[in-house]
Amino acid sequence: MFYTSLQYMKNRYDKVTRQNGLKATSLEEYEVWKDKTRKHLWEMLGLDKMEKGTSAPQILFEDEYEGCFRQKILIETLPEVFMPLYILTPKNVTDKTKVFITPSGHLGGGVASIIGDRSNPLVDAKIDNFNYDYGLQLAKRGCIVVAPETIGFGERRELANQKEEDILSCSCYHISHMATPLGMTLAGIQTFDLICLVDYLESREDIDISNLTCLGFSGGGMQTLWLSAFDERIKKAVISGYMYGYKDALLERNGNCNCNYIPNLWENYDMGDIGALIAPRRLFVQTGDKDHLNGKGGVENVKTQIEIIKKAYALYGAVDMVDHDVFEGPHRWYSDKIDKYI
């Protein structure tokens, strides 16, 4: 016999959730709510406690890779926190406004899977399993791809995860345990990282971010959601495998990664409220109809959040700026409609 706390937590969730969720019925009310909500979430994620590093970016190497000119660059985001990233520029690039930031998700070895680096057999298998090389897929379609190494992944793993055989693991648990008692959150650090990355791209004369897109799957989708919600320099967001109601997906499925859990978030907002902050910019959401992360409600648990988002877009008369593509299959990136996202 087991005596668990789950039912209490579900009841508590139902009692307190979405106290500050989107309720606006006019564009004026929405704009007030958006400004207030961004400030609230900025503090909730601990972004108000973060300061930008001052070191100059470094080009670590340049080479040719899969028909692209590739640069590996190191930037400082937080003081003494460094983000390696790759920029893939196709040799045949014709439209330099097609620039994509492609953050990585879990279980893929970090940025290696995104750029299709199959040199490690463990990463190679995950690329096939999750269709994980979406950065390389975009580059092969003529887009400029900016692929950052997510904090805690790949080359940014903490000491406990740095063995060669741990390449697919991440240090979210360890970073979260350090950050939360210091008034910060891992999701906040990931978001700050990406804002610093956009700052860096904006400083480069050879990159045009006037039509900048962020595209990510799973944990990369989570990062895309948060970055796009805060930073209006992101003109288009493509979120794959990460849009669902928190109760089914993260409360009942409470063994998910630490990066998903933010103190006091569920009392105030559901995921669709965060997505509503992207309005009226272009938004694509991808869902696998058998994605276990959707929770017991399945695709319906996703649609509840899409409806919240569409309420914000409707106030702009821009509901057609939101697309929800549902695919037959599990938790993975679906490239079937990739040309539509470009």
Kindly state the percentage of the chain with pLDDT values over 70.
100
- 333, amino acid identity: W
For residue 307, pLDDT beyond 90: yes
| Bridge partners, 286 (sequence order) | 240, 325
**8 A C-beta contact, residue 284 and residue 238:** yes
DSSP structural state of residue 141: T
Q: Which residues contact 254 (CB under 8 A, 6 or more apart)?
A: 6
User: What would the pLDDT profile of 138-188 be if each residue is shown by its tens digit?
Assistant: 999 999 999 999 999 999 999 999 999 999 999 999 999 999 999 999 999
Residue 94 pLDDT: 84
The pLDDT mean for the chain works out to 97
Q: What is the pLDDT of residue 181?
A: 97
Is residue 309 within 8 A of residue 274, CB to CB? The reply is no
HSE-CB of 56 using CA atoms within 13 angstroms: 2
| 26-35, Cβ contacts within 8 angstroms, sequence gap of 24 or more | 26/315, 27/315, 27/316, 30/279, 30/312, 30/315, 34/276, 34/277, 34/279
Long-range contacts of 264-268 (CB under 8 A, 24+ apart): 264/44, 265/44, 266/13, 266/16, 266/17, 267/16, 267/17, 267/19, 268/18, 268/19, 268/20, 268/21, 268/40, 268/44
Closest listed residue to residue 213, CA positions, set 141, 143, 114, 120: 143
Which residues neighbour 152 within 8 Å (Cβ) at sequence distance 6 or greater?
158, 161, 170, 171, 172, 174, 175, 186, 259
Give 329's pLDDT tier (boundaries 50, 70, 90): very high
Q: What is the pLDDT of residue 42?
A: 98
| Mean pLDDT confidence for 186-208 | 97
What string of DSSP letters covers 52-102?
---PPPEEEEEEEETTEEEEEEEEE-STT-EEEEEEEEETT---TT-EEE-
Closest CA to 84 of 42, 147, 130, 41: 147
Amino acid at 182: L
Element containing residue 202 per DSSP (H, E): helix 186-203
What pLDDT is stored for residue 92 in this prediction?
85
What is the length of the chain? 342
Q: In the β-sheet with 68-76, what is the strand arrangement from edge to edge?
A: 58-65, 68-76, 82-90, 144-148, 99-101, 213-217, 236-240, 282-288, 322-327
Type of residue at 65: Y
Q: Which amino acid is present at 99? A: V
| End-to-end Cα, the chain, rounded Å | 53
Confidence of residue 136 (pLDDT cuts 50, 70, 90): very high
What are the phi and psi torsion angles at 298 (to 5°)? 60, -140
Distances (CA, A) of 25 to 180, 305, 315: 35, 17, 8
In angstroms, the CA 167 to CA 110 distance is: 8
Q: Are 157 and 166 in contact (CB under 8 A)?
A: yes
User: What would the pLDDT profile of 237-275 be if each residue is shown by its tens digit?
Assistant: 999 999 999 999 999 999 999 999 999 999 999 999 999
Q: What is the mean pLDDT of residues 27-40?
A: 98
Please state the rounded mean pLDDT for residues 26-55. Answer: 98
**pLDDT for 193 beyond 90:** yes
| 302, amino acid identity | V
pLDDT band for 15, please (50, 70, 90 cuts): very high
Give pLDDT tens digits for 99-130. Answer: 999 999 999 999 999 999 999 999 999 999 99
